[in-house]
Amino acid sequence: MTPEGIRYEEIDVSKPHPARIYDYLLGGKDNYEADRRAGEELVAAAPEARIGLRANRAFLQRAVRHVVGAGVRQVLDLGTGLPTSPNVHETARETAPDTRVVYVDNDPIVRAHADALLSDSGGTRIVLADVRDVQGILDHPDVRGVLDFDRPVAVFLVAVLHFLTDADEPGRIAATLRDALPAGSYLVLSHATGDFADRTDAQAVYKKATAGLNLRTYAEVEAFFDGFGLVEPGLVQVPFWRPDTEPPAPYREVGIYGGVGRKD
C-alpha cells in the first residue's frame, strides 16, 4: 500500500485503461505511458474523439444541473472516472449543498484519488465495484449508508456501458437499477456509437486496453431507457443535449449519444 492508498499490485500500468485514456484526453495528469499512447492512437483513428470526450463531460455537468434543478438530492454515479473538477458533487452542490453522491468505479486508481478528494466531503462515498455486479452495488453498505432508495435517486451511467459486451447484459443492469428506484428518479446515460462514422479503428485501440469498446446504435442505446420517459430533447449526440450555446459544426461528428430519463 502506498501513502496515497493505491495498491499497485491491483494495477497493470502496461495496459491502457479506459479511465486513464479519458483522463489523458481531458488534459488530466493521472495517466501512464500506455494510456497516453492509446489516447493519441484514438485521436488518430477518430479525430473528433478529444472534443467528443470533452462534450461528454460537459453533458454530464448539464445533466447534473438538470436533475438537481428537478429536485433530486441523491446521485449514484457508476463508472465515475478519475476526479475531473468540477465533479458531480461539486456541480450538484452549487445548486443544492445537501446533495449526497456515491461514486462507483472498478479502477483502484480512481478509488484512491477519489478517497483523497472526498476525505473532507460529507455525504459522499467512493465504492470500488464493477457495474456488472449491479445488485452487489445496490446492496453495498456504503451505498445504502449514503443513499435512501425510498426517495428519488439520479443514476448516472455516463460513458460506461460501452465498456460492457452484450454478454455482460447491460440491458439487465439498467433494468435492475430502474426496478430499485422509486418514481421521480432519473437515469442519465451516454454511450458511444458508430452511427455517424465507421469507428472500427477506434475499437482497435480499446482492444489493447483493459476493456473493449462496444459501439451501439440509436435503438440499442434508447432501449437502456426502457421504463423511463426521456426528457427533452430525447436521446441525442451529447453536444446537442440542452447546450448552453450552439455547438460548432465539428460536433456533428461526435459519436456519443446522451439522454436523461425520468421514472414516473
Q: Rule CB under 6 A: which residues touch ligand SAM?
A: 18-19, 22, 56-57, 60, 79-81, 105-107, 110, 130-132, 158-160, 163, 211
What single-letter DSSP state applies at residue 263? -
User: Smallest distance, Å, CB 187 to ligand SAM?
Assistant: 13
The CB-of-153 to ligand SAM minimum distance in angstroms stands at 16
Minimum distance from residue 107 beta carbon to ligand SAM (Å)? 4
Please, what's the largest Cα pairwise distance for the chain?
A: 47
Residue number with the shortest CB distance to ligand SAM? 81
Please say which residue, 81 or 255, places its beta carbon nearer to ligand SAM.
Answer: 81
Q: Classify residue 184 as left (phi > 0), alpha (psi -120 to 50) or beta.
A: left
Task: Provide, rounded to whole angstroms, the least separation between the CB of residue 264 and ligand SAM.
Answer: 25
How far is Cα 235 from Cα 46, in angstroms, rounded to an integer? 22
Whose Cβ is closer to ligand SAM: residue 23's or residue 150's? 23
Query: Considering beta carbons, is residue 34 or 158 the nearer one to ligand SAM?
Result: 158
End-to-end Cα separation, the chain, in angstroms: 46
Task: Give min distance, CB of 80 to ligand SAM, in A.
Answer: 6
- Tell me the angle at which helices 88-95 and 49-69 cross, rounded to the nearest 10 degrees: 40
Distance CA 173, CA 181 (A): 13
Cα separation of 9 and 145, whole Å? 29
- Residue closer to ligand SAM by CB (options 165, 217) is 165
Scan for cell 502506498, then name that residue.
2
Residue nearer to ligand SAM on the CB measure, 56 or 193: 56
